Structure 1
Amino acid sequence: MGYYTSLAFDGADVPHISYFDIDRADLRYATKVSGVWVAQVVDSVGSVGQFSSIAVDADGNPRITYYDKDHGDLKYAAMAGGVWTIETADSVGDVGFYTSLALDALGEPSVSYSDISGGGLKYAHKSGGVWSAEVVEPGFPVGTYSSLALEPSGRAHISYANIGLQTLRYAVQDGAGWSLETVDGSGSVGYYTSIQLAGGTSPRISYIDIAHRKLLYAARGSGFNWDIETVDQVTQALFYTSLKLDSEGNPKISYFDNEKGDLKFADSAVHLIAPAGGERWPAGSAQKVAWTGIGPVEVLISQDGGANYIAALPSPVTDHEVFIPVPSWTTTMGRVKVRRSSPLSSSECRGLLTIALGLTSPWWAKTIDAVGSTGYNPSLRLTPAGAPRISYWDLSARAVRFAARTGGVWNFETVQITGGSTTPTSLAISAIGIPSIAYFDNAARQLKYAVRVGGTWSSEIVRSLTVVGDHCSLALNSFGSPRIAYYESSPARLVLAAQAGVSWGTEDVDAGTDVGLYNSLALDNIGYPYISYYDGTNHDLKFASKAGATWTVETVDAAGDVGSYSSLVLDAGRNPHVSYVDVGNGYLKYATKAGGTWTIETVDFGGYVDGSTSIALDGGGQPHIAYYDAVTSRLRYASRSALGWSTDSVDPSAGGGGRNSLALDSDGNPRIAFQHIASSDLRYASAAIELSAPATAVVWPVGANRIVRWEGTGYANLWISTDGGTSFQMIAPGLSGGAYTLLVPRSPSTQCRVRLQRDFPYSASLCESLFEIKASVDLVAFRADPVPYEGGALVTWATNPGVGDLAGYRLEKAVGSGAFTSVLGLTSEVTYRDPGAIPGTQYRLTAVNGLGDAFVLGVATFRPRKPLAAGPLPYRGGDLTISFASSGGAAGAPALTEVILFDLRGRRVRTIARGPYPSGFQSAAWNGKDEGGRRVASGVYFLKTVSGGHEQSIKITVLR
């Protein structure tokens, strides 16, 4: 099986193969359907199918020419609507050897072939439903190894061998006849020819010199001469050449090396190896460009995606690796190209480059929860404001946990301590920011749903199970009602649960052992459910959808062991996009469906992909995938652009990312929650700029220093708004390092917001709530008190904002009707001792902010006070308020001070206050009781203070 093969691709790049089943002597055909090879018998009447040649028409229908050995006929098979039609194209002679089929612009077939009964090389064409055949060159053995190519006009070119003369021959239609010539008459040549037309008209031929064991290539040169080159030479034989030309006319030849038993490939083009696309190049740096191919090449660079290029080096180079200077550009559409002028060949990098000054990786990662063994099966979602929320399983606590970042701080809550085995968690956030989680309580063998309302988690049973559960996925419809897809192993089935009111209903989606593993649920805008999942029995990726009363189930990919760790998202047109793992090959794969057809792509061919995948779409509908490389033990990230896929490492430390969850913010920047396997902790990675301060409603005094904090890499600009975010003004460009001390501007408002914006890659972060910029200074306290036992005044003051947010204070003094004069210049002190103060002296306080603005706060008047006073007197009950002076100790230290009540006999009745007090006036209260807690009797008593060697006493009267 598998002889006389011929390969063609349709417009969707789907392969189609015709071949001869030597065991059954049948013509067979194979193609790939949804990633799976499907084969069928085309013709089984007699011994048929040798020398097959296949072509595919514009509608994707295969056409095949082949040899009918029993009748010696040239046969032709065409498929339409899934049905094969077979007809005889030529039956004159023993015809149908070495067929080569081509379709013209109208889809009509032409074929070259050999008549071994003596007719030589023949050519047949079908027009208007009728076949016509003609002899191109008669004689035997003429026409072996024929290969046909058509010009856009339909003019035929044929390469072939005259085995008798051992020459390579070439025929081209010339009016009503044929023009024939010998291309290579050196002997033993012309075997296994393959022809292509450069520019649609100029012939190129690959063939074998059988005696000298050479692969040769012939090209029509100027003046109708042929230029012949040796491509490869071995010590034994070469066979079976197949030639294709790229868009620039460069030949590519596949052939068989009998010496080593190898399939070989020869390529004359240049191919860029690095950069691949997706790299970040700092402007002004030197970066490597590498390629394969022969000849000097120009190295070019573009900042507009390849529309326009400039030379990266002053002259062409022959080395296959050079370092080029990166221009001082700022672009996300950089591209590199190498170009050889003769023969023309060029190659561009597949993806785009980001170029900017000081550019670094946008990724940063931090540990969120490292208490015990935790972080299993995380699920990440962003609130409508872009704040991250994560659900996960804490193995040490046997609990479902929830993490939320608020005000730049991560806060943690226990949703439920379930006990039992590990459970997946699936988190959803409603349109108003309410989180809910689906999970299994495996101790109770229940599927549960929890929601957080009013700061409290409450859970309910969705379904009781007979065995422990695994694999569940939660989604909310437009009304906030939950839907949960889950796998139930007994009985084995994939189930969808839906909440209606206060009750839950379930329906079976698919059934079978291990059918429904790694399920991922998405709802469209109408609320219809879509589920991707793994069929563990057949090792297939499957997809189920319901847009009415019944489920439609499809096998998306059945090529090997595929479909584990699937993740599903829908685009705006309700088209599904699925990421998943090809376990057999260790590939990351991606499937999408549009127009009823699934398209499958391999994203990462590394061969080491294992663990969960998580997919999200950006605003342009392009997919982004988080996944895990098991060999390097690293979390990776893949993103797709119009030019293809690019991949990147996320967490530089090994051991992270086996379980991950991806979300994109409104700017398209990825955020990923993942478990670091090596340390069993929960981590959070982000490629965005994320502000952490200011985070909550605060007041910023004008002229004060305030710190803006963030997490993120690269250079960012700081902006401020005083109208709630309607407009912004830049106040600090080019910031990095995660913190910036800001001098609060003179822009008072209660509607302030801060925005930090990075241009490349773009990311903007707003503070979580409004805050106030306040221009005024409030006077909290301002006193001028006598200095106990010494004379003069002690002036003290306090303000809001305090001295830490001001440039300082100025204090002035006025005596009597005189003018105020300065006694303190700009100072950060909050006290002033004036030994010369007299009663009535006034003091005026002025605050100065960091911008130099002055605020006169008030006036305090110095009034003498008695060193000991009490009231109300006479005392009749309640609290007696006592004012007393304390002298203070040395160097301003507090001094021991006592306030004591004595009776007329000098006996101590009560110590009312005792302790170290600073110099100044203090207050205390007496409740009318003695040391034993008994009410004192009516009478006359003495109140005495002792402080720093000073004593004062007054007489008080108690009346009961």
Structure 2
Amino acid sequence: MQKTKESILIRILSLPNLQGLRRWLYLLLAVGLALGGWFMLSRLSLVGANAANSSQSNGGQTHIWPTEVINSPMASGRSFINMTGRSLAYYTDKDHTRQQLHLAYGGKNLYYATTTWISPTWSAWTSEVVDPAADVGEWASIAVDYRNRPHIAYYDKANGCLKYAVKDVSWSIATLDCDNVLLPVSEEETLSLAEDGEIEIQPTIISVEETINGFPLRQEELGAQSENSLLAEPSSGSGKYTSIAIDSYGQPHISYAKFYPRSDRIYHKLKYIYYDRTIPAWKIYQVTQAGSGVASLNEGLFTSIAIDSRDRPHIAFLDDDHDKVRYVFSPRENNWTFSYPTDAGIGQYDNLGGWNSLVLRPAEPQDKPYIAFYDKTRGALTMAEGTYKTDLKNYNWSTYRIDNNGDVGLFASLAIKDGKDFGISYFDESWDDLRYAEGNGSNWAAKVVTGTNSRAGRYTSLVFDFNQKPHITYFDFSDGMLYEAYQITTTWKFRQIDLSDTLGSASVSLDSARNPNVLYYNNLLGSLEVARRSTQWTADTVIASRLSIDQRVAFRVDSSGRSHLAYYDPLNQDLVYGIKDGLAWNFETIDSLGDVGQNPALALDSSGKPYLSYYDASNGRIKLAFKDSSNQWRTEVLKVVGDARGSFSSIAVHPTSGDIYVSFYDASSQTLQLGYTPPGDSHSWSLTTVDVTPKSGQHNALALDGSRRPRIAYFEATNQVLKFAAADRSIPPFNFTVDTVDNSGQVGQYCSLGIDGNGFYHISYYDAASRDLKYAFFDGTTWSTQIVDFAGEVGLWSSLVIDPSTNIPHILYFDSTNRQWKYTIDKPWKIEGQIFLPIINR
């Protein structure tokens, strides 16, 4: 049927009112678009590696967090540090048909690597995880017995214990000593003299029922701890500075240090443990010399042990009280004889003996000891040679320099060559090179192994094969690689063993152009670097310096564009400050009295003068360093706080008044404290307890609001919550109002606080339970919290700053999963109570 105009009209008139229907369709479409848009925004974080992170706060605001990667280091998932001069061992059978190198090292876990001679070359290095427990393996030392079984002594940093591993068919692991008892001021009453005047010391005997591979051990449950766990080192314990040797029966002997705090500093004591096969049991000695003028309360660092031809132990170690290498041997069971191998006498503090290495050469009536060590005062590698005197029943010593070309001798490892000569591997601090010396007596030839400015040569360990060719393992900061150097004829060859990546910390600051500047520790290159973003990220090396992986760095850019930084130098245990005013960085050691400078915090006054708060580990104190009116550095003590290692202080200086505020954790009372002082060259500190809840403030962040009133975000460890404290006034006496910001799990570590121009508070922090980066915001009435990044383990060492022109927070944080520093800014999208629809034509 042909359709006419009339029939069409009839059909149209019979339909519902299309004008109203169209409006309803538009409305439904708009609602769908709005809801779909909201849903997409809330899920952006799940889309691809390059997608922006987003989340919705419980305050009704959706935030987009676009994330940028600042650095992309190679990631091995392993981390190792503090290898010893005895971390490499060599085995060959009597026919030299089998040769094998064994290497022990660790930090994050305990690792073992090995290579075997397969004529005409060595096989590739292979490695394995021996102990997967968290934070084990530092100060690893290895020795092999006559059956080619590797024995490893190493430090358990998480628990403050000496551990031991031995491999027969498989690895067996034991905890040998967790002694953390604080010692009395005077220890002479615990010692006695034998009839011949030697020191007589009675051992502690470890007797357990279970026997593993012939040794009574407390077997560990492997895998009980996560290898990624972040654990604080105990304040006292045993197991640092280990060295291991094997006697003729294949039994292990281990020297190591016990450490414990006193009111003024951390002390060490030399300890020795060996397996007595006749009992059978382990025997532990605390090896101490008594007597007026010779007793040392702080000794046992950098131990090196050797077993003589009569199976008796000889130990070289650092006496830190007298700043020199010391020597002790046991002529018979329970008796010990001490001597000083250096010319410097008691009371002469000469900085001799760090990173020493001991070997013995058979002789009558006692074997001859030789010790290579670092002379820090003269920057020289030195050798001490002992000759036994029967009338003295002790050794006489002579010393001679091996190499003083620059600052050389750190990380020395000594080995005997051909039964009469010696080889020594060591580090050249002046040129960042691995060096090797060979010779005897006063006749030595020293040479560079790795080449100028290679940044290689730390943590050396040396052995000779049966062809008397040297093999040296060492760490190269330029690529984060553990290497072996070995000699063929006169040419050095190099092989990779394993790659390390570590954590470290970072800090962010905005320059006058509102561009982010980031100071971070590049663990692979072993350097502090500053990255700046304008159109893209660019990075420059500030200084090549090995930092502690668990120490904070501080960074600020002042209004004149000058960059300021502070960090702890773990090698020299000093506080270091640097400033870049123009093209070059200039560095100063601000405090070197003891072990000082841990976890520094930095603030600037209106003229750009720096103020630093930091921890004095030797004396258990929070200190302040600042430049006075004459532009000279001054240091002062805020408070004795006990063992507060692993905690942070935070500092703020008011830009106009110059008032100084420092928040810190007092380990003695386990409380969060605030110190205040008016400006000036001399200060009178007023101290206030902020929160009396136990374990409050180990991580804390301080800022001043527009009325100069202190505001503190902090972690309360008792309940694992993030808290916020607000003072009622700008000067003492303070009254604090304390709020719990987030109690959802284990939250609040690595917190960072900013206050915007509206007086609103912003906090970035770490969720340890979910391993996420979180953010809290206070809008003047209520707190809202949200997850910023949850892809893997993210959020450690967060650092937050506020852009004063936009009030937008910028956050820097570490991505542990991908071993990357990341940066993000907040892009809020407000979702109101109304839904805005597109305009409908009516």
TM-score after normalising by structure 1: 0.27
The higher radius of gyration belongs to 1
**Greater strand share, 1 or 2?**
1
TM-score after normalising by structure 2: 0.30
Q: Which has the higher contact order (CA 8 A, sep 6+)?
A: 2
